Structures are given as C-alpha cells and as structure tokens.
Amino acid sequence: MRAPRRTPSRAALRRSRAARPWLLLTPALLVLAGLLLYPLVRVVVISLQDFSGLRAVARGTAEFIGLANYREVLDDRQLWLTVLPNTVVVALVAVVLTVVVGTLAALLLETLGTMARAATTIAILSAWAVPAVTGTYIWIWIFDPVDGLVSKAAQFLGLVPPGGENWFLDRVTFFTIVVLNVVHHGFPFVALTVLAGLLTIPTEMVEAAKLDGADAWRRFWSITVPMLRPVFAVVTILSTIWDFKVFTQVYLMPGGSGQNREVLNLGTWSYVESFGQTEYGTGSAIAVVLTVTLLLITGVYLRTLFREGEL
C-alpha cells in the first residue's frame, strides 16, 4: 500500500519541477510568438498576396498571386539602380567607418589615465544615448541649406554661392550626412566593446613585443588584431545588421520619406510602398528581402558566437 502511494507523489514532484521552467517561460514565449514570430510569418503570407488598398487591410487577407510581388520588385530598375546601392554601399561605408573610428577611439582610451578615460567614456556614452530621432534632427539642422552652421561657414569662406546649397537633394551628399549620423550613433558601442577587449590582453605580451623591438603599428597587427578577432567579428556583424536596416535616419531627412525617390533604401522603400501607396503586398515583399538578408548575416553572427563557446 505504501509504495504505490509514494511513487506517484515523487513522480508528480519531478513533473512539477520539470514544468517550472516552462511555466516561467510561457508568458515571455507567448508574447514573442504572438508579436514577433506570427507577424514574421504573416509578412511572408502578405508578400504572396495581391494585398493593396484599405479594403484588404479591413479584411486582413487577399487573393494569393504567387511570386508576382517579388517579380515586380526584382524587375524594378529602381531596385538595382537606386535602392540596393543606397542600402548596400551605405551600409558598407558606414560599417567600415564605424569599426575604424570605434577602434581608434578604443586605442586612444587605453592610453589615457583613469580620470581622462572616465571623462572620455562619458562623452562617448552621451553620443550613444542620443535618440535616433533627435540625432537626425540635429544633423539636419547643422546642414540646413539656408541657416545651418555648415552652410553659413561655407558661405563665409566662399565655398558655396550665397543663398547656400541644398545638400539634401543630391544622393551622395544626402547619404554622406546619413553616414555621419549613423557613425556618430554607432561607433560608441564599438569603442567600448573593443576597449573591454583591449584590457584583457596581458601586459607581459605587449612588453615582450616591445623588448623585441616591435613598434606600435606592428604590435597592433601582430598582437591586438589576432587576440581580439572574435570581438572584431561581433562588432562588425552587429554594426552590419544595424546599418543595413537603418530607417529613421533616412526617413526623417528632407525628402527621405518618399518625396525624393533617389534616396530610398530597402527599409524606407518598403514603408513608402505600404503606407504611402497602400501596396502592402509589394511592401511586404521588400521587407522579406531585407529580413532574409539580415537573417543570413545573423547566421554568421551565431556561428561566430558558437565557435567562441559563448552559449
């Protein structure tokens, strides 16, 4: 009589212990599933439908048309001549500059004394903390064609005709300002992460290299870079993801919300197609293209993490 009674209670105990992590996880997983995964599936479904106009929105579904939206997007000259270069080239330039500036800042921080390093860290953090929205407005104001600081200075020096020049109209100058904004916002993360990595390099190693007569340049490439390879991999990949999907910094710029089609990138194009033209199907197809690109980059990121055994 006793044994059968004890066995189920122990099993029940074990079951309740096994259930506890899932009990704790369920609320979070439900939210993530309902608000991130389900919409992710939904955006793929919509991209396969003739989903346009507010009627389709009200019904929540539309007729399936296969890959027509993708064909439309891929056949669009705008994609190849404007949108992709605006996305890929801008991301590449921004990533390279972000990592270079961040690394230089980290190397500089490492040489500073405690007080100077703390003060400079706070300065760098405050650049990081500027919200994308206000940061973008600040750069627009600095480059304002009529009253902006840069315009005033350039007019004073006679570099541009009086009355100023509108840098927001030209694609190259437009994205130069975007890159400046993105690098300003993104390099602090790289600087502080690389600094944390630099501080883990044993000083004996550097001292030994100095004794062997290696100069700073040589030490950087022969010690710092190989030692910090995983750190550089992570900051480069994360910066790539962030810079590929930059939206606010482009959308808020003058002409960036669709008026000037020369300056669309994948993110803003998708948004303008959907909410400007109510072509949700096409917009979703563009969003899927962007997502797939980013997931591929994420795959590389995960593999790097796994190789470092961080999980």
List the interface residues with other proteins, window 150-169 (CB under 8 A). 152
User: Is residue 121 exposed (0-12), middle (13-18) or buried (19+ Cβ within 10 Å)?
Assistant: middle
Hey, what amino acid is at 245? K
Task: Between 149 and 208, name the residue whose CB sits nearer to other proteins.
Answer: 149
Which residues, including other chains, have CB under 8 Å from residue 287's CB and lie 6 or more apart?
43, 47, 270
- 27 in contact with other proteins (CB under 8 A): yes
Name the 3-class secondary structure at 49. Answer: strand
CB of 274 to other proteins, least distance (A): 5
CB of 80 to other proteins, least distance (A): 21
CB of 4 to other proteins, least distance (A): 26
- 64 in contact with other proteins (CB under 8 A): no
Which pairs count as long-range contacts for 135-139, CB under 8 Å and 24+ apart, including other chains? Answer: 135/181, 135/184, 135/185, 135/249, 136/181, 136/248, 136/249, 136/252, 136/253, 137/252, 139/177, 139/180, 139/181, 139/184
Task: Between 99 and 283, name the residue whose CB sits nearer to other proteins.
Answer: 283
CB of 309 to other proteins, least distance (A): 10
Per CB under 8 A, contacts with other proteins among 185-224 are: 188, 192, 196
Among 1, 28, 115, 211, indicate the residue that binds other proteins (CB under 8 A).
28
CB 148 within 8 A of CB 155: no
Location of structure tokens 């609320």: 27
Which residues, including other chains, have CB under 8 Å from residue 165's CB and lie 6 or more apart?
145, 151, 154
Per CB under 8 A, contacts with other proteins among 241-300 are: 241, 245, 247-248, 251-252, 267, 270-271, 274-275, 280, 283-284, 287-288, 290-291, 294-295, 297-298
Distances (CA, A) of 187 to 7, 75, 129, 174: 60, 36, 12, 20
Per CB under 8 A, contacts with other proteins among 80-139 are: 104-105, 108, 111-112, 116, 120, 122-135, 137-139
Closest C-alpha to 142, from 172, 168, 169? 168
CB of 1 to other proteins, least distance (A): 29
CB of 85 to other proteins, least distance (A): 19
- 301 in contact with other proteins (CB under 8 A): yes
CB of 284 to other proteins, least distance (A): 5
Structure tokens at 37: 């995964």
Among 7, 8, 12, 20, indicate the residue that binds other proteins (CB under 8 A).
20
Per CB under 8 A, contacts with other proteins among 224-243 are: 241
Task: Between 49 and 224, name the residue whose CB sits nearer to other proteins.
Answer: 49
Specify which residues 49 forms β-bridges with.
64
